[in-house]
C-alpha cells in the first residue's frame, strides 16, 4: 500500500502539499503557502527521499525553505525554468511578508540553502530511487510547469499540479497521453464551469486597448509576473502601440527567455519584450502616463507593486481603461474593486472612474477539459484537490462511474 496524506490544498486553493509514503520511501509533491495570509501546510517529518515541485507559483513552492530550516538536506526536483522563477518569487514573497509584519517561518539563508539542493529534471526525464521512479510531463500552466508521474510498488500515481490542456498564446497545452494510471491526484480549480473561448478573449482585449489608445487614453493591464505578463506581451505585440512593462514581470520575463523551449513561441515573446519599454523607477512612471500607451504591470490582484502608482494617478481619467486579466482571490484589492467599484489596498482608497473590464485569461483547465482528460486516461481512482468545489465535483464524477474522493487537509488515503 501507498499512503497519500494531504498537508494542504485540499478543499481549498493554496498552500499545496502532498506526502506519499510507499513504506520504503517518502516523497513530497509541492509545498506552498496561502499567499494572502501566509498560512502554510501541515509540517511533515523531514525524513524525506525527495521533493517534487510542479511549478513556481508560491502556493506550490513558497514554503520549501522551511523544510531546509528544519533540517531537511535532500534533493528538491524541479525544471530549470521553475528553479529560476522560484528564486525570484521566494525573495519577493519574503519581502512582502516582512512589509506586512507577518510571522516569518524562514529567512534568506534558508532560501539559499534550498537553492543549493535543487536538482534539475526536464519533462521526459526519469529519476530513479530504490523502489520508485518519477517522471515529469509538460503541464501547460506556466513556463516550467509539469505533471509528476510516480511509479512505486506496482502503482502509477499521477499528480497534475496545475494544468491547462488547450494552447494559449504563451504555452502549448498539457501532455495527456497517459496509460495504465492507477490514481490521478487532480487539481479542480475550475471544476464548476468552463472558460470563454480564448481567441475571443484575445480579440476583446485588443479592442479594449485600441479603443482606449485611439481616444488618447492609457490602457492599464494588471498582470501576474509569471505567465500573464508574457501572454499579454505576445497578444498585444502586433498592435503597434507603445507598450510599457513595469514591476516584477520584467525580471520574470528575463528569466523565462533563458529557456526557449519553455514557451510556445519564443521568437514572438522575445521580440515583444525587446520592443517594450521597461519601467524601473517613479520618475519614469511620471513620464509614461503623459501620452497614450499600454502599461502591463504587477501586481495582478492589485495589492501592491507599481499598479498602485498608476491607479493613484489615473483613477479620475475616464479616457483610460483598467483590464483585469486573471482570477481575483477573495480578500484582495482586485476582488474588492470588482465587487464594489472601490479600490482599497490598505494604503490607497479610491473609486476609479476608468473604464473597467474583466477578462478570464485563466491558466487552469476547466470542467469540460477535466472530464475529457479523466475519460481519456480512465484511472482506477481520482483524488480531487486544489479547488473550493471538490465535494460537489466528486459527487458528479461518482455519478458518472468514476471512483472519486475529495479529502480534507490532514486526511490520508491508502492505495
pLDDT per residue as tens digits for the range 5-50:
999 999 999 999 999 999 999 999 999 999 888 899 999 999 999 9
Is-contact 348 311, C-beta < 8 A?
Answer: yes
Is the model's pLDDT at 316 over the cut of 90? yes
What CATH class has 3-193+363-414? alpha beta
Q: Residue 37: its pLDDT value, please?
A: 84
> What's the mean pLDDT in 89-113?
94
Distance of CA 391 to the CA centre of its chain: 23
Q: Which three cell numbers stand for residue 102?
A: 507577518
Q: Which residues contact 8 (CB under 8 A, 6 or more apart)?
A: 14, 15, 16, 17, 32, 34, 40, 41, 42, 409
Greatest alpha-carbon pair distance for the chain in Å reads 66
Q: Which three cell numbers stand for residue 297?
A: 504591470
| pLDDT confidence band for 245 (50 / 70 / 90) | very high
Domains of the chain, by residue range, sit at 3-193+363-414, 198-358
Q: Residue 379: its pLDDT value, please?
A: 99
Q: Describe the crossing of helices 249-256 and 80-100 by its angle, rounded to 10 degrees.
A: 160
Please compute, for residue 403, the number of CA atoms within 13 A of its CA located in the half-sphere on the CB side. Answer: 8
State how far the Cα of 393 lies from the Cα of 285, in Å rounded to an integer.
Answer: 46
| H-run or E-run covering 77 | strand 76-78
Q: Residue 329: its pLDDT value, please?
A: 85
Q: Residue 281: its pLDDT value, please?
A: 85
pTM over 0.85, yes/no? yes
pLDDT per residue as tens digits for the range 161-200:
999 999 999 999 999 999 999 999 999 999 999 999 999 9
Which residue blocks in 276-402 are alpha helix, DSSP H?
282-288, 307-314, 333-340, 367-377, 390-399
Lowest mean pLDDT among 21-25, 223-227, 344-348: 344-348
Fold of the 198-358 domain: Rossmann fold (3.40.50)
State how far the Cα of 265 lies from the Cα of 287, in Å rounded to an integer.
Answer: 32
Q: Which three cell numbers stand for residue 119?
A: 536538482
> What's the mean pLDDT in 341-368?
96
Is-contact 14 58, C-beta < 8 A?
Answer: no
Closest alpha carbon to 15 in 404, 410, 412: 410
Q: Residue 282: its pLDDT value, please?
A: 82
Amino acid at each position: 500500500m501507498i499512503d497519500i496524506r494531504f498537508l494542504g490544498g485540499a478543499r481549498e486553493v493554496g498552500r499545496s502539499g502532498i506526502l506519499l509514503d510507499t513504506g520504503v520511501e517518502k516523497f513530497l509533491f509541492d509545498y506552498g503557502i496561502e499567499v494572502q495570509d501566509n498560512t502554510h501546510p501541515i509540517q511533515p517529518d523531514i525524513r524525506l527521499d525527495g521533493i517534487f515541485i510542479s511549478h513556481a507559483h508560491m502556493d506550490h513552492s513558497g514554503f520549501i525553505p522551511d523544510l531546509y530550516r528544519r533540517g531537511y538536506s535532500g534533493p528538491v526536483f524541479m525544471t530549470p525554468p521553475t528553479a529560476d522563477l522560484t528564486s525570484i518569487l521566494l525573495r519577493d514573497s519574503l519581502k512582502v511578508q516582512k512589509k506586512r509584519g507577518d510571522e516569518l517561518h524562514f529567512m534568506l539563508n534558508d532560501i539559499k540553502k534550498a537553492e543549493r539542493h535543487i536538482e534539475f529534471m526536464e519533462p521526459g526525464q526519469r529519476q530513479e530511487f530504490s523502489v520508485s521512479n518519477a517522471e515529469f510531463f509538460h503541464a501547460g500552466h506556466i513556463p516550467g510547469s509539469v505533471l509528476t508521474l510516480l511509479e512505486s510498488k506496482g502503482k502509477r500515481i499521477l499528480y497534475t499540479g496545475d494544468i491547462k490542456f488547450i494552447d494559449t498564446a504563451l504555452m502549448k497545452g498539457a501532455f495527456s497521453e497517459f496509460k495504465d494510471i492507477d490514481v490521478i491526484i487532480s487539481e479542480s480549480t475550475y471544476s464548476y464551469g468552463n472558460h470563454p473561448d480564448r481567441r475571443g478573449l484575445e480579440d476583446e482585449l485588443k479592442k479594449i486597448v485600441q479603443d482606449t489608445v485611439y481616444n488618447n487614453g492609457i490602457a492599464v493591464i494588471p498582470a501576474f509576473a509569471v505567465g500573464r505578463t508574457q501572454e499579454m506581451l505576445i497578444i498585444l505585440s502586433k498592435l503597434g502601440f507603445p507598450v510599457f512593462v513595469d514591476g516584477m514581470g520584467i525580471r520574470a520575463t528575463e528569466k523565462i527567455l533563458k529557456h526557449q523551449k519553455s514557451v510556445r513561441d519564443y521568437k514572438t515573446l522575445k521580440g515583444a519584450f525587446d520592443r517594450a519599454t521597461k519601467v524601473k523607477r517613479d520618475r519614469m512612471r511620471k513620464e509614461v502616463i503623459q501620452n497614450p500607451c499600454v502599461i502591463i504591470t504587477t501586481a495582478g490582484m492589485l495589492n501592491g507593486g507599481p499598479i498602485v502608482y498608476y491607479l493613484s494617478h489615473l483613477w479620475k481619467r475616464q479616457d483610460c481603461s483598467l483590464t483585469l486579466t486573471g482570477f481575483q482571490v477573495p480578500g484582495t484589492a482586485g476582488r474588492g474593486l470588482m465587487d464594489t467599484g472601490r479600490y482599497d489596498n490598505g494604503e490607497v482608497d479610491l473609486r476609479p472612474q476608468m473604464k473597467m473590464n474583466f477578462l478570464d485569461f485563466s491558466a487552469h483547465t476547466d470542467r469540460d477539459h477535466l472530464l475529457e482528460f479523466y475519460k481519456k486516461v480512465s484511472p482506477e481512482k481520482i483524488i480531487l484537490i486544489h479547488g473550493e468545489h471538490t465535494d460537489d465535483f466528486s459527487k458528479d464524477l461518482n455519478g458518472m462511474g468514476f471512483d472519486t474522493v475529495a479529502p480534507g487537509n490532514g486526511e490520508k488515503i491508502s492505495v
